[in-house]
Amino acid sequence: MSFVSTLRQWDEAVACVEQRDPASALRIFLNIEEKNSKIFFNIGCLYLNNSELDEAEKAFDRSIGKDEHLAAAFFQRGVTFYKKERFEESLLDFQQAFKQLRGNQLIDYKPLGLRYKLYACEVLHNIGLVQAQLGKWEKAQENLLTALSLRADAKFSHIDHALDAILKQKLFPLVEIRAGLLFKPNKHYVAELEKRDYLGKAKVVSSIVPADEFSGFAPLQPQVDNVPSTPKVPEVLRVFEGEPHTVLYEFYPETKEELAVLPGNIVFVLQKGADNWASVVFNEKRGLVPYNFLEPLDIVTMTSKPMQIEPLNENDDIPAPPRRAPPSRPVGTEGLKTVKAETNNIRDFSGCIVKVHFRFTIAVRIAHGQSYGIILQTISSKLKLPASALTLCYAKEGVEERVNLEESEMEAVWNSVKDNRLALWCSLTESKSVPHEKVVALYSYASSTPEDLDFEQGNIITVLSKVNDEWLEGQCNGKVGIFPSSFVKALNGDQQCE
């Protein structure tokens, strides 16, 4: 089953629940072939609302099997075990749900399609209830006191009532997710299920035929007499200077000197360097492309081969040309001019191509004979790093190790240039590396996987890299790992200097 079919059935089932038809919704959910953790969660909730506890338990088991970090599934399975009076298993699931909160006061599932917030205080409320069922009144009281301290606002008054009941060694009601709340599919994906007419109805803008109402892709053409018996052989187009090549692979430029090409494009190679880079012309633009991305092309075979036209037989039944005269030419269409393409404004590519090997490879163009300072400043601007933090070196002829680039070495460097190509190596100067950004922890964070970074509230963390919009990689207390960006904030300038 395709993703589109799954999405369509998912949306249809949710609509049935909103129309108070849970039986049809359950039937549609069960017919989905490729069910994810959210769909299994929805199935479990529907079974739980119908008091079919065994089926609900199986559905929540499969939901957790698909996503072992879905705290809401652990919470609902704990409710299922509680109603089946399997209190030990219910306690383990509520404790696992609390662990998945990772020290947060709540998890808002609205971005995932479920309009529900799972609060830590309510999970502790249920833990206390299960411990009371097991006769552990003191532990139940401790968990309710913790829940009271984590209470976000006054709407959780049932925690106060639960604490009063525990002091009297009485039970209290269980907190459950309200019936009818289910995970919904992404609304943007659902919107794409509807067919859209992107082209619309064609409309005639201009035609050589008066009162033309044709709405196809081309206007009606005038009819002429004396149609030639053989079509005209196409003329050979003028070719740019250089050897024609066809592009085999897609190439994205990383520098201003490189040129973007796509498979099937025809380019003209002006010069091929020893480092496997070729200077080419494409669409009146000139740039560098890897030569191994190209294949020589024989353009003569493409254009000079005449079309094979079979001779007409005199006995063939050819209809007579139309007798009516062609329509007159509309006023104002005389004197149309053909715009001639300008090909003489291709920019000059004089200079030496310098390939710099850093953590990644870049290419810059520098005029021959420039000083060390100009080369260093050009590379510094390209890498967006201070020049004082960079060290340049090159492979000197007759020397095994690379030699640091200095003003005294510039004459030897320029003498080593071959075919206007020069290779340099760049590294960060020791004790002058670029400082990383530092942030301060707003909350404590406990790792749940080996890749996570542990830290306490107020710790200073050095940010090493950005994983995505929600996670960062950093270093704290001698450890390196990833952590949520929402748990930290940037330091001000004075603290960064410290």
Domain limits of the chain? 3-168, 243-296, 351-428, 438-490
Residue among 253, 254, 278 at smallest CA distance from 267 = 278
Q: What is the pLDDT of residues 71-86, one digit of tens each?
A: 999 999 999 999 999 9
State the amino acid at position 321 in one-letter form: P
Mean pLDDT, residues 169-175 taken together: 91
Name the residue with higher pLDDT: 345 or 251.
251
Mean pLDDT, residues 396-418 taken together: 86
How many other CB atoms are found less than 10 A from the CB of residue 438? 18
Share the mean pLDDT of the chain.
79
Residue among 446, 396, 447 at smallest CA distance from 423 = 396
User: What span, in angstroms and rounded, lies between the C-alpha atoms of 69 and 320?
Assistant: 79
The per-residue pLDDT for 340 is 33
Residue among 58, 70, 49 at smallest CA distance from 30 = 58
Beta strands 243-247 and 266-272 are antiparallel
The per-residue pLDDT for 206 is 62
Residue among 347, 373, 378 at smallest CA distance from 362 = 378
The per-residue pLDDT for 54 is 93
Same fold, 3-168 and 438-490: no
The per-residue pLDDT for 349 is 45
Q: Which CATH superfamily is domain 438-490 in?
A: SH3 Domains (2.30.30.40)
Q: What is the DSSP letter of 126?
A: H
Q: Report the Cα 457 to chain-centroid distance in Å.
A: 32
Question: Taking the model in full, what pTM does it have?
Answer: 0.42
> In whole angstroms, how far apart are CA 147 and each of 105, 173, 412?
10, 15, 75
284-303 burial code (b ≥16 CB/10 A, e <16) = eebbbbebebbeebebeeee
pLDDT over 70 (residue 314): no
User: What span, in angstroms and rounded, lies between the C-alpha atoms of 194 and 178?
Assistant: 31
pLDDT over 70 (residue 319): no
| Residue reference for tokens 């404004």 | 345
Q: Pick 243-296's CATH classification: 3.30.110.60, 3.30.565.10, 2.30.30.40, 1.10.357.10.
A: 2.30.30.40
Query: Does the domain made of 3-168 have the CATH classification 1.25.40.10?
Result: yes
> In whole angstroms, how far apart are CA 227 and each of 230, 231, 321, 322?
9, 9, 8, 11
pLDDT over 50 (residue 69): yes
Residue 75 three-state SS: helix
210-243 burial code (b ≥16 CB/10 A, e <16) = eeeeeeeeeeeeeeeeeeeeeeeeeeeeeebeeb
Name the residue with higher pLDDT: 466 or 97.
97
Query: Does the domain made of 351-428 have the CATH classification 3.30.450.20?
Result: no
Token duo for residue 264: 């099937």
Q: What is the pLDDT of residues 360-399, one digit of tens each?
A: 788 888 888 888 888 888 888 888 788 888 889 988 888 8
